[in-house]
Chain A
Amino acid sequence: MPTYQLTVNGKAHTVEASEDTPLLWVLRDHLDMVGTKFGCGIAQCGACTVHVDGNATRSCSLPVASAAGMSITTIEGLSEDGSHPVQQAWKEVDVPQCGYCQAGQMMTASAFLAQNPNPTEEEIKDAMNGNICRCAAYNRIRKAVGVAAEKMA
Chain B
Amino acid sequence: MSTPSIQFSRRNFLRTSSLASGGLLIGFNLFTACKSDVKPPVDLANLNYNDFNAFIKIAKNGAVTIFSPNPEIGQGVKTSMPMIIAEELDVSWDNVYVQQGVLDTKNYTRQIAGGSQSIRFGWDALRQTGATAKQMLVNAAAARWGVDASELSVSEGVISNKAGETLSYGDVVDEAAVLEVPENVTLKEPKDYTIIGTDKRNVDINKIITGKPLYGMDYKEDGMLYAAVLRPPAFGQELVSFDATDAKALPGVVDVIQIGDMAKALLSEEEVNWTAQLSGSGKVVVLANSTWEAFKGKEAIKATWSDATPLESTEFHDKKLNGLLDGKDFVTMRKDGDVNKAFAKADKVLERTYESPFLPHNCMEPMNFFANVTDEKIHLVGPVQTPEDAANTVAALLGRDVADIHLEMTRMGGGFGRRLYGDFVYEAAEISATVKKPIKMVSSREDDMSTGVYRPAIKYRIKAAIKDGQLTGYQLKEAAINTNMYGLIPNFFPAGAVENYQVDVANYKSNITTGAWRAPYTNFLAYAEQSFFDELAEEMEVDKIKMRLDLLEKVKGTEDERIQYSPERMQDVIKMAVDKSGWGKQPKGTYQGFVAYYCHNTHVAEVADVQIENGLPVVKKVTCIVDCGIVINPMGALNQIEGGIVDGIGHSMYGSFGFENGKPTANNYDKYRLGRMKEAPVVETHLVQNELSPTGLGEPTLPPAGGAVANALKAATGKRAYKQPFIQQEELWKVKKEEILG
Contact = CB atoms under 8 A, between A and B. Distances in A.
A, B in one complex: yes
Contact of A38 (B291, B415, B416, B446): B291
Contacts of B220: 32, 34
A133 B413 CA distance: 10
A28 B219 CA distance: 10
Given A75-B210, A82-B206, A98-B413, A139 B290 contact: no
A98 B414 contact: yes
Interface in A77-116: 78-82, 87, 90-91, 94, 96-103, 106
B675 interface: yes
5 contacts: A35-B212, A37-B365, A40-B668, A96-B202, A98-B73
Contacts of B251: 1, 18
Contacts of B350: none
B208 A99 contact: yes
B98 to A, nearest CB: 15
A134 B414 contact: yes
Contact of B290 (A25, A47, A131): A25
Q: How large is the interface on B (under 10, 10 to 19, 20 to 34, 35 or more residues)?
A: 35 or more
Nearest to B200: A94
A85 B362 CA distance: 30
A137 interface: yes
B639 A140 contact: yes
Given A42-B670, A134-B364, A34 B646 contact: no
B204 A99 contact: yes
B210 A76 contact: yes
B226 interface: yes
A98 B74 contact: yes
A3 interface: no
B365 A136 contact: no
Contacts of B668: 40-42, 44
Interface string A15-47: 001100110010011101111111111101101
Given A80-B210, A97-B643, A125-B677, A134 B202 contact: no
Interface stretch (B500-508, B535-543, B678-686): B678-686
Interface string A122-153: 00011011111111111111100000000000
A75 B213 CA distance: 12
A9 to B, nearest CB: 10
B379 to A, nearest CB: 19
Given A98-B73, A106-B209, A125-B678, A137 B364 contact: no
A57 interface: no
Given A42-B669, A137-B639, A94 B201 contact: yes
Interface in B26-43: none
Contact of B669 (A36, A45, A91, A142): A45
Given A22-B292, A100-B412, A136-B675, 17 more contacts: A34-B217, A34-B220, A38-B291, A79-B210, A80-B210, A87-B209, A94-B199, A97-B639, A99-B208, A101-B413, A125-B677, A130-B676, A132-B669, A132-B674, A132-B676, A135-B643, A136-B644
Given A47-B364, A136-B680, A81 B414 contact: no
B211 A35 contact: yes
A42 B444 CA distance: 10
Contacts of A25: 290-292
B372 to A, nearest CB: 18
Contacts of B645: 136
Interface of A: 1, 17-18, 21-22, 25, 28-30, 32-42, 44-45, 47, 74-76, 78-82, 87, 90-91, 94, 96-103, 106, 125-126, 128-142
A136 B647 contact: yes
Nearest to A99: B208
Contacts of A91: 201, 205-206, 209
Contacts of B202: 94, 96, 99
A128 B680 CA distance: 12
A32 B677 CA distance: 31
B364 A45 contact: yes
B445 interface: yes
Interface in B636-670: 636, 639-640, 642-647, 650, 668-670
Contacts of B640: 97
B364 A132 contact: yes
B247 to A, nearest CB: 14
Give the interface centre of B209, B295, B642 by most chain A CB atoms within 10 Å. B209
B669 A138 contact: no
Contacts of A129: 676-678
Contact of B74 (A28, A36, A81, A135): A135
A29 B218 CA distance: 9
Contact of A41 (B444, B642, B674): B444
B214 interface: yes
A81 B73 CA distance: 25
B635 A135 contact: no
B692 to A, nearest CB: 25
A62 to B, nearest CB: 12
Interface in B403-418: 411-416
B447 to A, nearest CB: 10
Given A34-B217, A44-B668, A87 B363 contact: no
Interface string B242-260: 0000000001100000000
Contacts of A29: 226, 289-292
Contacts of A76: 210-211
Given A22-B292, A37-B364, A134-B362, A90 B209 contact: yes
Contacts of B217: 34, 37-38
B76 interface: yes
Contacts of A125: 677-678
Interface string B207-235: 01111111101101000001000000000
B211 A94 contact: no
Contact of B208 (A45, A78, A102): A102
B642 A137 contact: yes
Nearest to B443: A38
B700 interface: no
Contacts of B475: none
Contact of A97 (B74, B226, B289, B678): B74
A29 B683 CA distance: 40
Given A1-B251, A47-B364, A82-B210, A140 B642 contact: yes
Please name the 3 residue pairs, one residue from A and one from B, whose CB atoms are nearest each other, closest first. A35-B211, A98-B74, A100-B413
Given A21-B290, A136-B650, A128 B677 contact: yes
Contacts of A79: 210
Contacts of B387: none
Contacts of B204: 96, 99
B643 A136 contact: yes
B563 to A, nearest CB: 32
A81 B204 CA distance: 14
A28 B678 CA distance: 30
Give the interface centre of B252, B362, B413, B675 by most chain A CB atoms within 10 Å. B413
